[in-house]
Structure 1
Amino acid sequence: MTTTQHTQHPQPPAPRPDAVPLSGPRFHTDPAELYREMRQRHGSVVPVVLPGDIPAWLVVGYRELHHVTGDTNLFTRDMGLWNQWPVIPADWPLLPMVNRRQPSIYYTVGAEHQRHVELVAPALEAVDPFELRRHAEQIADALIDAFCGQGEAELIGDYAKLLPILVLGRVIGFPDAEGPELAQAINALADGGEDAIASHAYLTAAMRRLLATKRAAPGADVTSRMLGHPEPFTDEEYVLDLQAIVAAGHLPTSDWIGNSLRLMLTDDRFAASLSGGRHSVGEAMNEVLWEDTPTQILAGRWVARDTQLGGQRLQAGDMLLLGLQGAHGDPQVRHPGHVDAGGNNAHFSFSHGEFRCPFPAQEIAEAIARTGIEVLLDRLPDVDLSVPQDELTRRPSPFLRGMTALPVRFTPTPAVGGQR
């Protein structure tokens, strides 16, 4: 296995005076208008500044993003090229998202990346779709049983933040009891706050425990299939790939559920589907991927040599952030606010190119999200918001877009105890 070597940069570039801070409430309250303003001021490639006064570029043009994700030679995943490494502190809160020494499917390139793909993809492809849906239905019912008799609930903390990690735990090999703590650690990691580093350490320890458990007693799960792969991998590689599967599988799926439920509870176009159960669930989920995608910004790519993109001059070693939601609103390719009702899937919500989310992972995420929404609507057909729409708030992250809470009321119903 090759180890990424860091290019030495005697004078890391400083942020441009006109760089946009990648923080602040507008990423939570009005991202569409914020991206429009960025585009009007800077074009399709926006100079931004990350916490700690670290410069980067945010790609918000649809065509430019397609180019960046498609040209892995010029815009590489090799984070060792980053010209900011000399000034990145060891406790930088975004370090877990841009780790300088991760031999995982996320942060390897070329043949080494393909080696990890050949480990992970078959293990995910072997997940039985019928068993996956059965797990999702059982766990959804159990979560709803905990609050269905009360006539009110908070659907993010009580449901959307728990369902994906519990279902993934079943197929990956975690016991159900570890799900809530794992969900808490993954969310803290993504929000990039003061507890991000500690949460990363917890997640790493959990993966090591899982690895030891499955090595001692293999089962019909993703982890055991990875351990059974014929080519040897180090424990660090297994742990990092498992972290990637769990984090990328849970976070966007959780927010996909929450954002879709918010849309269906606040938009009159979907009112009939609430009482009718499953009619427009797929349409709402697809609209969310365009208009309210869970992954708003994805890190990252690094420029292999000096070049130009979207009218901006980029230096070798510059970091590019993939502005997925910004690109979705690019007026050159589509009208903001308009979604093809027939199902336009040309979005970037699963990224694009060589490092696109593996198709089996996409299928798993969609099955969990759709099942979770459908079961909830079946069980609570008259569910409605219990607070005014304008009181709903979003998670404090420019990278991920999800609800902090979704309080609802409904007619109390009896628990089903796993039997429907």
Structure 2
Amino acid sequence: MQSPDTTTDPAAAAGGCPMHAAASDGVRPLYGAEAEAQPYALYEQLRAEHGEVAPVRLYGDVPAWLILGHRENLEVMRSKNFSSDSRNWHAIRNGTLAPDSPLRPITAWQPLVALTDGTEHARLREAVTESLAGVNRHRLRRYITRYAVRLIDGFSGEGRADLVADFARKLPAFVVAHQLGIPESAALSVGAAVSDMISGGDAALAGNQLVVETVHDLVESRKLQPGDDLASRLLAHPRGLTDEEVRQHLRLILVGALEPTANLIANTLRMVLTDSRFRGNLSGGQMTLPDALEQVLWDHPPLAVVPTRWATCDIEVGGTRIGAGDMVMLGLAAGNVDPVIRADVDKPVHGNRSHLSFGAGAHECPGQDLGRAIAETGIDLLLERVPDATLSIPDDELQVVGTWMSRRLTSLPVAFKPRRQAPPPAVAAPVPGEPAQPEAAPAPAPAERRSWRFWRR
């Protein structure tokens, strides 16, 4: 497919991408009830009509390219011909993006590692990755365990729960908020605000405002009283981030960690409870928890689309000409089911991490290990403490809400035998005159190749 001449295309004249001008041209919207209800069907229709790169429309008839192929996604991720700086975008340069567009919270340029290139990107990424590396893994697992047990104990005596509302959405909010330095009392409200931002709907701007206010207050607090958290480490990093850069990266970490991790937990639990592929493999001791998480990352990536690439020159990708300044979106979900690399999408993918869920190249997600740790530890504890959980409704009655960027399971109701809460372990009082004993080491993490006890029982 060729882009029309930019000198005659009305979209180009208005400052938009020269691929199409209106809905009447047959270009499909990536948003709306039909597209969001059956996104994988839409991907296949687009693939059949356009190949591995397809023109689509976003909110307000904003034009963009959606990359469908696995190889083509990697090409865009790794190429210097595609910038993460949205100031290269027609709609930003010409001021045609509406001030209240729900695309603004995600695409408007900010001093972020995800929206910069070159030496500036290297400076910011070094600060972010080294600050994340300062997270103590043993303590992290201890906090995940603490919050997971608290949440499980909150519903284990009832004999029923909604594993999305009661567990999958709350656990990442508590853990990530704690790691950043956000007070526990604000964790759930911040988590809800991030979900609103991702939705791209009417609540996106309000959710973004709450997150902005939260990280602003956090930075001011940590400047006066540093702690052992990401906010303090970013402020003190030798790369010399400004207060605004620190605030924006804390916001980025919230967006990049909360919604994807909640979706990963919910989708993994759903597949464990309903998918015969997992039931058969796990009961035979052939699939471990890490294997199952990777399968979900292939089949249901937490983020389906990443809208943060813009062409810096006229270039051809997958046989399609993309013009300089065009918006190019990474189709992670579409690329993961590309028939070129997965002829049989129903076949389990064991031990293969070549999915696109965390990106690739210079902008590969630096916090993916944090999300995996929260999901793996939390799910393992849940299935250990509530091993007899069964779905309360038929699988085909479960509802999934789709947005232009992600799909989220709305609920996962389960029933099980009510359990009494186990008393907290006794802690010996220190002996006067003796030095305090070091904090007990956390229980060992789940073995990398262990099968789930859930299925053995």
Is TM > 0.5 for Structure 1 vs Structure 2? yes
Gaps of 5+ in 1: 1-8
- Percent sequence identity is 37
Matches within 5 A, 1:268-307: 268-271=276-279, 280-307=288-315
Aligned to 2:6: none
TM-score by length of 2: 0.85
Report the Cα offset of residue 63 of structure 1.
Answer: 1.3
Report the Cα offset of residue 10 of structure 1.
Answer: 5.2
1:389 aligns with 2:395: yes
1:99 aligns with 2:108: yes
Partners in 2 of 1:317 and 1:255 — Cα distance?
32
Partners in 1 of 2:66 and 2:349 — Cα distance?
29
Partners in 1 of 2:351 and 2:424 — Cα distance?
33
Aligned to 1:77: 84
Amino acid at match of 2:82: F
**In structure 2, do the counterparts of structure 1 residues 11 and 89 end up closer, same or farther at CA, with 3 Å as the change threshold?**
closer
SS of 1:118 mapped into structure 2: helix
Report the number of matched residues.
408
Aligned to 2:418: 412
Aligned to 2:361: 353
Q: CA RMSD in A?
A: 2.1
In terms of mean alpha carbon deviation, does 26-35 or 348-357 score higher?
26-35
Q: Does the CA contact (< 8 Å) of 1:380 and 1:410 recur in 2?
A: yes
Partners in 1 of 2:49 and 2:97 — Cα distance?
28
Partners in 2 of 1:308 and 1:248 — Cα distance?
30
Report the Cα offset of residue 142 of structure 1.
Answer: 0.3
Aligned to 1:6: none
Q: Does the CA contact (< 8 Å) of 1:188 and 1:196 recur in 2?
A: yes
SS of 1:264 mapped into structure 2: helix
Aligned to 1:344: 352
1:398 aligns with 2:404: yes
**In structure 2, do the counterparts of structure 1 residues 386 and 275 end up closer, same or farther at CA, with 3 Å as the change threshold?**
farther
Aligned to 2:14: 11
Aligned to 2:241: 233
Amino acid at match of 2:320: Q
In terms of mean alpha carbon deviation, does 334-343 or 273-282 score higher?
273-282
Q: Does the CA contact (< 8 Å) of 2:311 and 2:322 recur in 1?
A: yes
Aligned to 1:5: none
Gaps of 5+ in 2: 1-11, 426-442, 444-457
Amino acid at match of 2:14: Q
Aligned to 1:145: 153
Bigger-Rg structure (1/2): 2
Q: Does the CA contact (< 8 Å) of 1:145 and 1:417 recur in 2?
A: no
Amino acid at match of 1:87: T
SS of 1:63 mapped into structure 2: helix
Aligned to 1:58: 66
Amino acid at match of 1:238: V
Aligned to 1:3: none
Aligned to 1:4: none
Aligned to 2:180: 172
In terms of mean alpha carbon deviation, does 344-353 or 281-290 score higher?
281-290
Partners in 2 of 1:22 and 1:154 — Cα distance?
30
Matches within 5 A, 1:197-216: 197-216=205-224
Report the Cα offset of residue 34 of structure 1.
Answer: 2.3
Q: Does the CA contact (< 8 Å) of 2:200 and 2:404 recur in 1?
A: no
Aligned to 2:379: 373
